[in-house]
Amino acid sequence: MGKIRSTLDIVMERTRGMSMSREDRDRLHEKELSDTARAWAQKYLDGRMAWEEVETRLDAAGGDKPLLSALLKGELASDIRPGVDNARHVHALDRLSMAGRDRIMAIIGDHEQALNSRTAQRLELLRARLEDEGIRGTSVIPNVEQDPSWQDIVREVQGHLTAELHALS
């Protein structure tokens, strides 16, 4: 009668002589750091971790600190939304980038103005379309948020904002 082996035993036997390449190890390490940065950013933004704790963990990261800081900055920058309270994001980016709070706020403000301007243009276009269909009046307000073109505009402005904030040094 044969020996009953677990799946783990079988996998271990078949992979005994295998090892990861340097590129695979580096890629796995970067993925782990990316996951760590994402978790820290989310905990900080949710108020479950103070910024001082994030800084302490960054300092303890040793040689991974520059990459972890860049990944953390990217996570924070990509989560900023024009027109909402971004105070925690701004505080963290200010501490990470040394660009200064005023510079960060100016970048966000510029993108908020661009989005507001493009939203007003889109509203006028939607209002004109409704008028062409015979729908008009002072109480007619087009729902710009349901317009797929407007959603593309928001994604475009958000992408530019994220790129500009991520480029801060």
Count the residues in the chain: 169
Residue 153 · residue 122 · CB < 8 Å = yes
How far is Cα of residue 98 from the mean position of the Cα atoms in its chain?
19
pLDDT for 169 equals 65
Residue 103 · residue 160 · CB < 8 Å = no
Q: Who wins on pLDDT, 49 or 167?
A: 49
User: Which of 108, 139, 142, 137 has its CA nearest to residue 122?
Assistant: 142
pLDDT for 43 equals 96
pLDDT in tens, 118-163: 999 999 999 998 899 988 888 888 888 888 888 899 999 999 999 9
Number of other CB atoms surrounding residue 155 within 10 Å? 10
Radius of gyration of the chain (CA): 24
User: Which of 20, 10, 60 has its CA nearest to residue 40?
Assistant: 60
| pLDDT range class, residue 38, cuts 50, 70, 90 | very high
pLDDT in tens, 57-108: 999 999 999 999 999 999 999 999 888 899 999 999 999 988 889 999 999 9
